[in-house]
Every structure is written in C-alpha cells, then in structure tokens.
C-alpha cells in the first residue's frame, strides 16, 4: 500500500497490480543467480502533473508527497569467473522505458547480447532490477511513476544491496557499487546522483544526455499498452503506454545492417511499458550533481536519434559540467549503434567498453 498527499490532503491510491505486492519466495533461476521480490519503503516528493491538462498548460510544481512500500523484482548473479580485483564490486543494472530485466540479460542469443553474462565472465557480480511498473515489479497507479519516485527506490535498493540485505546476497555486502543505466533509467540514475549522492560509487549512464535532439513527451508512436498488447497488459490503466508496433521499435536501432532482424522481433514480442508520468517528468531539468564525488561514464550510440546530437554526439562533450565534483568523467561513442546499445551486432564492443572503463577506474 502506498499513499500520496497533495499539500495537506492525504489520499489512499488504488493499486492496479498485475502481480502480488508482497515478497515472494526466492527463486533459483540458475546455479549462479537468484531472483525474488524486494519490498522497499520510501518517502519522496513527486510533481503535480495536473497543470499539463490546463489550457494553457501550467508549470509543473513539485509538491506531491509519496510514501509507502513498493515491491520490486530483482535478479542477483554471481560472476562465473573469479577476478580478485572485481570481487568487492556490484553492478546494479537498470533498463529503460518499455523494457525490463531482459534488456541487460537478453534471452535471445545471450552469448552475444547479454551484458549480465559478459560481465560475469569478466568477474563482476550483477544485480538486475525491474523498475516499478515493469516486469514482475508492482504496477501502481501510473500517475505516481515519476522520476523522483523511481530515483528514491533505486537509492534505497542500492543501500540495501550494500548491506547484503537483498535476495541472493546471503548477507554479503559490497564495498563498491556501480549503477549502470539506459535511457529512462539513466535519467533516474542522474537524479540519484543529484539527490542521493552517496548511494553509488560510480555511474555508467548509457543512451542519455542532458541535451537531446528529439522530443520525449508526447513521444509519437506510443499508445496505451492495454490496447496495443491486450493479452499481456489488458488490465493496466490507460496511462501505461508501450510502442505501437515493430516499426516504432526499430526506430530505437540503427539502420538495418547494424542489427539482426531476429533480435528486433524478439524485442518487439517481449516489450514492456512506460508511464505517461515518466514521459512528462523525464525532461524536467534535474540540476547539477554538486555533491557526487564518484566516477561518471557516459556512453551513447553514434546513431542514437534521441540523445546523440551531430556531429559525433557532440552533446556528450558538455556532460562533465553536470558533475562538477566527480572524481572523474569520461564519455564514449559506440559507432554503428543506435539508442538500444545492447541489441546491435556490436553489442560486445559496447560491453567491453564498459568493463574496460570499470577496470581502469578500479572497480
């Protein structure tokens, strides 16, 4: 159960759950992985989005208090190769909008497209998270699925992971935690660096920049998920959206010669949802992460039509100004890759770029 309060008004919000909102028994998915549901208690201030429906629209005001317990799907995997220098590092990987845990652990030809497997072979433990409203995580009223709430949940999850208090960790704590994000979750991770600067030791933000070249809200080609895929999302409210068809999905890739059509087909068949409230708040200026003192790595595809501005993703060159206290800032452009970096033919190059950076920075 969760509550939200606008000013002094406190109202119980009905939940549109597609699965139980209580902690499930631990599921052993593989010999080196464990999966389960984690209850997280958070309190945060969201945006009042009612002004968007006004004529003319009113500016957004951040004054909606959200507090309560939310159930999040997680999957922890031990490394398949022991590398002493990485033994104390945990990679917390989070997907983008209309994705779930499959994004970083792709089930189609995983030897090529699963970062989780690649990282495990390099000696890294991973913690794969389905954001609230995705996968098996709880599906609350979509109007509360905003960047501030998602950031508070990510920060709390990292805090518990550091203590070893999450499924599969067996009370094992990690000295170094790196957040790895994509697209929407990179906006969320950026908010973590701003509002919870001590949560992670380093951040790899992929498919994201503070300056972008395409509008995010309203995003063309997205419709209520219950209409697009009624057999999977028919019980969700209208403000849960997904991509309308495979052509919209393909726009997140590079040209046809940069990806396997079978990957796109699998992606389309397993797509997830995004909330209108996330679209509405992803573009709200987040300010600078003035107190974050860890390492930051920004990675985009050279063919990303949203977050790569010409020439050569030049917007990444200015990203360092948003992390003025960071120990280090680096950026990289993956050639011949679009927005969904993990799903291109050169996915292994992308994976290697990240793990080499981790090694250079001592993680």
Tens digit of each residue's pLDDT (9 = 90 or more) over 69-93: 999 999 999 999 999 999 999 999 9
pLDDT at 166: 79
Averaged pLDDT for residues 105-132: 97
Q: What is the helix (H) or strand (E) element at residue 162, kind and residue range?
A: helix 147-163
Query: 49 in helix, strand or coil?
Result: coil
pLDDT at 218: 56
Distance of CA 9 to the CA centre of its chain: 31
pLDDT at 316: 95
Structural domain of 52: 2-360
Q: Count Cα atoms within 13 angstroms, Cβ side, for 326.
A: 24
Say if residue 38's pLDDT is above 70: yes
Return the higher-pLDDT residue of 345 and 166: 345
Out of 134-143, 146-155, 185-194, 275-284, least confident range: 275-284
CB 184 within 8 A of CB 274: yes
At 298, the pLDDT band (50, 70, 90 cuts) reads very high
pLDDT at 5: 39
Q: How many beta carbons lie within 10 A of that of residue 160, not counting itself?
A: 14
Out of 3-17, 117-131, 258-272, 308-322, least confident range: 3-17
Place of tokens 């954001």: 131
Query: 68 in helix, strand or coil?
Result: strand
CB 284 within 8 A of CB 147: yes
Nearest of 132, 172, 171, 126 to residue 152 by alpha carbon: 132
Say if residue 311's pLDDT is above 50: yes
Tokens representing 270 are: 């397993």
Distance between CA atoms of residues 310 and 337, nearest Å: 15
pLDDT at 216: 56
Number of folded domains that form the chain: 1
pTM: 0.91
Return the higher-pLDDT residue of 238 and 5: 238
Return the higher-pLDDT residue of 119 and 49: 119
Bridge partner residues of 71 (DSSP): 39
Averaged pLDDT for residues 214-221: 65
Q: What is the mean pLDDT of the chain?
A: 89
Tens digit of each residue's pLDDT (9 = 90 or more) over 163-213: 888 777 766 779 999 999 999 999 999 999 999 999 999 999 999 999 887
Calculate what percentage of the chain has a pLDDT beyond 70: 89
Averaged pLDDT for residues 56-75: 92
Say if residue 297's pLDDT is above 90: yes
pLDDT at 165: 80
Residues 6+ apart with CB under 8 A from 268: 243, 245, 246, 249
Averaged pLDDT for residues 292-300: 98
CB 64 within 8 A of CB 8: no
Distance between CA atoms of residues 271 and 100, nearest Å: 8
Tokens representing 324 are: 């003025």
Tokens representing 320 are: 């360092």
Compute the radius of gyration of the chain from its Cα atoms.
19
Say if residue 227's pLDDT is above 70: yes
Q: Are strands 202-206 and 328-334 parallel, antiparallel or unpaired?
A: unpaired
CB 278 within 8 A of CB 145: yes
Bridge partner residues of 94 (DSSP): 129, 181
CB 299 within 8 A of CB 350: yes
Distance between CA atoms of residues 131 and 71, nearest Å: 10
Distance between CA atoms of residues 301 and 319, nearest Å: 15
CB 138 within 8 A of CB 293: no
Distances (CA, A) of 303 to 15, 66, 334: 39, 38, 9
Q: What is the helix (H) or strand (E) element at residue 45, kind and residue range?
A: strand 33-48
pLDDT at 75: 95
The CATH number given to whatever domain includes residue 36 is 3.40.50.1820
Tens digit of each residue's pLDDT (9 = 90 or more) over 5-19: 333 233 334 333 333
Residues 6+ apart with CB under 8 A from 186: 96, 205, 206, 207, 208
Query: 109 in helix, strand or coil?
Result: coil
Tokens representing 71 are: 């159930």
């Amino acid at each position: 159960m969760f509550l939200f309060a606008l000013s002094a008004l406190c109202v119980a919000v009905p939940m549109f759950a597609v699965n139980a909102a209580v902690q499930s028994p631990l599921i052993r998915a593989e010999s080196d992985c464990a999966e389960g549901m984690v209850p997280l208690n958070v309190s945060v201030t969201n945006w009042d989005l009612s002004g968007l429906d006004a004529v003319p629209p009113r500016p957004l005001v951040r004054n909606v208090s959200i507090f309560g317990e939310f159930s999040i799907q997680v999957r922890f995997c031990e490394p398949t190769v022991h590398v002493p220098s990485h033994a104390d590092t945990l990679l917390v990987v989070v997907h983008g909008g209309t994705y779930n845990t499959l994004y970083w652990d792709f089930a189609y030809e995983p030897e090529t497209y699963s970062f989780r497997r690649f990282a495990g072979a390099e000696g890294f433990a991973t913690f794969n998270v389905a954001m609230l409203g995705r996968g098996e995580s709880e599906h609350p009223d979509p109007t509360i699925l905003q960047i501030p709430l998602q950031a508070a949940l990510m920060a709390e999850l990292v805090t518990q992971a550091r203590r070893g208090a999450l499924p599969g960790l067996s009370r094992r704590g990690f000295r170094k935690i790196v957040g790895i994000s994509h697209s929407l979750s990179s906006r969320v991770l950026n908010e973590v660096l701003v509002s919870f600067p001590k949560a992670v030791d380093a951040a790899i933000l992929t498919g994201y920049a503070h300056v972008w070249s395409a509008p995010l809200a309203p995003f063309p080609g997205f419709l209520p998920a219950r209409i697009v895929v009624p057999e999977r999302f028919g019980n969700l409210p209208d403000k849960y959206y997904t991509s309308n068809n495979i052509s919209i999905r393909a726009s997140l890739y590079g040209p046809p010669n940069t990806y396997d059509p079978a990957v796109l087909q699998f992606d389309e068949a397993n797509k997830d949802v995004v909330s209108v409230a996330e679209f509405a708040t992803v573009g709200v200026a987040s300010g600078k992460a003035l107190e974050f003192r860890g390492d930051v790595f920004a990675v985009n595809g050279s063919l990303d039509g949203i977050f790569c501005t010409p020439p050569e993703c030049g917007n990444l060159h200015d990203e360092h100004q948003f992390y003025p206290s960071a120990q280090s800032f680096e950026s990289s452009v993956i050639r011949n890759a679009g927005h969904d970096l993990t799903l291109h033919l050169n996915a292994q190059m992308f994976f290697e770029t990240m793990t080499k950076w981790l090694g250079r920075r001592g993680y």
